[in-house]
Structure 1
């Protein structure tokens, strides 16, 4: 772990045992994220969308008629990056852009049929791959993991407000 992160954590957390647990938590979280992203990218090799594009498509699946700025916020992208990003999704026919009915300066984004199919196929491959791993974990452990994830998510969302 970097010196800066250790320093910040030591200022925030006085308990060394808890600091060690935080470090272990972040280390495992980063490893899981990297492996998951690698597996998703591998499963996307023969497809159109990248991992980041799949995140964008998933967001639009859950939040249809989003604006470009809403998508940028959801993906933590700058306005110049999101413009190129949505251009690629449009070129690959994964999304459609339509002007807002009340304000033509606003562009609304929606999944195309091809984008919807891409999400379904990618999720199938991800679930098959992750299902093999998750089947090795007990139901009790899975429920605990989900409960803890939801708790962390709730606390993070609460902090964002």
Structure 2
């Protein structure tokens, strides 16, 4: 039986609560989490000629049909366009439109403001402590994999 006063239990519970909070968060700049992830990933991976769905799928560790479904929504919103691959007629590349870049910028700013509010709430010292602790947590979990 778990001991709710145990530090490891309390830490696990804090992470679970934080994860649940993320799950209930609304859209950012009108984009849901999967749309944001795909749009950000296209932006990051696109060097100059667009990104294939298979590249996105590998990068996000999500199935190609899931990526395609999200991309279809982004295309309908005119945030992403499909373009033929110049070296492979069968392949399609995804490119962020000007509207998509604007939406991504607005979403980033909205997201940044959330963290600005958190920094204001915690203060400089606790914010720096949190940064250090989260980096240590990341390194710990990264080392396990």
Task: Using structure 2 for the length normalisation, give the TM-score.
Answer: 0.73
Alignment of 1:16-95 (within 5 A): 20-41=6-27, 43-44=28-29, 47=30, 49-64=31-46, 65-95=50-80
**More displaced stretch, 112-121 vs 124-133:** 124-133
Q: Deviations over 1:78-117 (max 9, x none)?
A: 2222221211111211112223332233332221111111
Q: Which runs of 5+ in 2 are unaligned?
A: none
**Residue-pair matches, total:** 141
Residue of structure 2 aligned with 1:129, choices 98, 102, 114: 114
Q: CA, structure 1 residues 67+154, in 2 after alignment: closer, same or farther (shift >3 Å)? A: farther
Q: CA, structure 1 residues 73+152, in 2 after alignment: closer, same or farther (shift >3 Å)? A: farther
Is 1:95–1:112's contact at 8 Å kept on the other side of the alignment?
Answer: yes
Whole-Å separation in 1 of the counterparts to 2:89 and 2:138: 35
Is 1:59–1:71's contact at 8 Å kept on the other side of the alignment?
Answer: yes
Residue of structure 2 aligned with 1:110, choices 95, 98, 102: 95
Is 2:38–2:70's contact at 8 Å kept on the other side of the alignment?
Answer: no
RMSD: 3.0
Q: Secondary structure at the match of 2:78?
A: coil
Whole-Å separation in 1 of the counterparts to 2:104 and 2:96: 10
Q: CA, structure 1 residues 143+62, in 2 after alignment: closer, same or farther (shift >3 Å)? A: farther
Residue of structure 1 aligned with 2:135, choices 150, 157, 161: 150
Q: Secondary structure at the match of 1:137?
A: helix
Q: Deviations over 1:44-74 (max 9, x none)?
A: 4xx3x21211121112222223321222233
Q: Is 1:119 equivalent to 2:104 in the alignment?
A: yes
